Amino acid sequence: MIEVKNVYFTYPNGVEALKGVSLTIKDGEFVAIMGQNGAGKTTLVKHFNGLLKPTKGIVLVDGVDTRKVSVATLARKVGFVFQNPDHQLFSETVEDEISFALKNFRFEAETINKRVDWALNLLGLTRYKKTSPFMLSGGERKRVALASVLAWNPKILILDEPTIGQDYQQKEKLRHFILQLNAQKKTVIIVTHDVEFVAECNPRVILMSNGEIIADGEARKILTDPKIVTEASIVPPQITQIFIKLKNYGFPRDILDIYEAREAILNSLRKGFK
């Protein structure tokens, strides 16, 4: 469980990035943190693995105050994938990159090999096992960063912009995998601008603006509320936008995906033909 109690954070240059944030994320939750550029999303999640410590207020991870433990201790429990993969990758080959944490945590050699191959396969990187991460495309590098954390199966997973640079099929794979983790009661926290991805996952959404939380609730409720969405510099999913434009035709106002859309339209046309 992650408990954030009235947290403030100011960077050395004087920027106040968090201004009194409080929230609780329970074990097994799937949360998407969204909101405008510079709202403080990355700053907030860096508090969850102790990379940043609050200027004021407290962050507890499973009851432990993050100011009282090292990042290395927290790292065993909290996996963190950076927004920019280049901040994370340093090894000579993709295989070394993915096995690094596994070795650090003293997994057995056989387990390491198995986990590495599993992660390579999950993220479509098998053919790059012996390649340098710096010779890969942008989307591939992001997937190496994801693989290196998913491989050791942390209890809490924090993914800053996991879908950046990913094509539709990779995103689908990632979505299925996250939902699977979630079914196993892992906590998954993503920071994302990808409205379509969130619409398809329907997690709990936390909206941030200007260092504060301005909304917290089910994706379906939040992404279909035009007012709150605009306040957080978000645009509703494309399907929802269609129904916002058709608001005078009596459709439900919280339609998120294509299948719901199809049903609503066919229903409405059927009624008309009676």
Partner 1 sequence: MAIIETENLTYTYPGATNPSIRNVSIKIEKGEFVLITGPSGCGKTTLCRCFNGLIPHFYQGKLEGEVFVAGLKVDEHSIHELAKHVGLVFQNPENQLFALSVEKDVAFGLENLGVPRDEIRRRVDWAMKLTGIYHLKDRAPNELSGGQQQRVAIASVLAMKPEIIVLDEPTSFLDPLGAENIFKVIYELNRKFGITIILVEHRLDLTAKYADHIIIMDNGEILLDGETRSVLNSEKARLVGVGIPKATRLYQILKKDRVNLRSTIPLSSDEMAAMLEEVLKSK
**Which of 21, 42, 122, 251 contacts Mg ion by CB under 5 A?**
42
Residues 6+ apart with CB under 8 A from 160: 41, 42, 45, 80, 81, 82, 83, 190, 191
CA dihedral for 238, 240, 246, 249, sign (positive or negative): positive
Site string for partner 1, 54-93 (x = CB under 8 A): -----------------------------xx-x-------
Nearest-approach distance from CB 81 to partner 1, in angstroms: 13
Taking the least distance from each CB to ligand ATP, the nearer of 29 and 161 is 161
Task: Give the range of 56-64, 99-107, 147-155, 188-196 binding partner 1 by CB under 8 A.
Answer: 188-196
Taking the least distance from each CB to partner 1, the nearer of 15 and 69 is 15
Binding site for ligand ATP (CB under 6 A): 11, 13, 15, 17, 37-43, 83, 135-140, 165
3-state secondary structure of 124: coil
Helix (H) or strand (E) holding 152: none
Q: Does 227 bind partner 1 (CB under 8 A)?
A: no
Neighbours of 103 (CB within 10 A): 12
Taking the least distance from each CB to Mg ion, the nearer of 193 and 204 is 193
**Which of 69, 109, 183, 266 contacts partner 1 by CB under 8 A?**
266
Cβ burial, residue 106 (10 Å; 0-12/13-18/19+): exposed
Q: Give me the residue whose beta carbon is nearest to Mg ion.
A: 42
**Which of 73, 182, 202, 233 contacts partner 1 by CB under 8 A?**
233
The Cα 52–Cα 63 span in angstroms is: 17
Token duo for residue 124: 């479509």
Taking the least distance from each CB to partner 1, the nearer of 2 and 136 is 136
The Cα 40–Cα 55 span in angstroms is: 14
The Cα 60–Cα 118 span in angstroms is: 32
Instruction: Indicate the pairing of strand 156-160 with strand 187-191.
Output: parallel
Taking the least distance from each CB to partner 1, the nearer of 7 and 234 is 234
Residue 169 binds what, of ligand ATP, Mg ion, partner 1, none (CB under 5 to 8 Å, by partner type)?
Answer: partner 1
102 within 8 A of 154, measured Cβ to Cβ: no
Token duo for residue 46: 């860096």
Nearest-approach distance from CB 207 to ligand ATP, in angstroms: 11
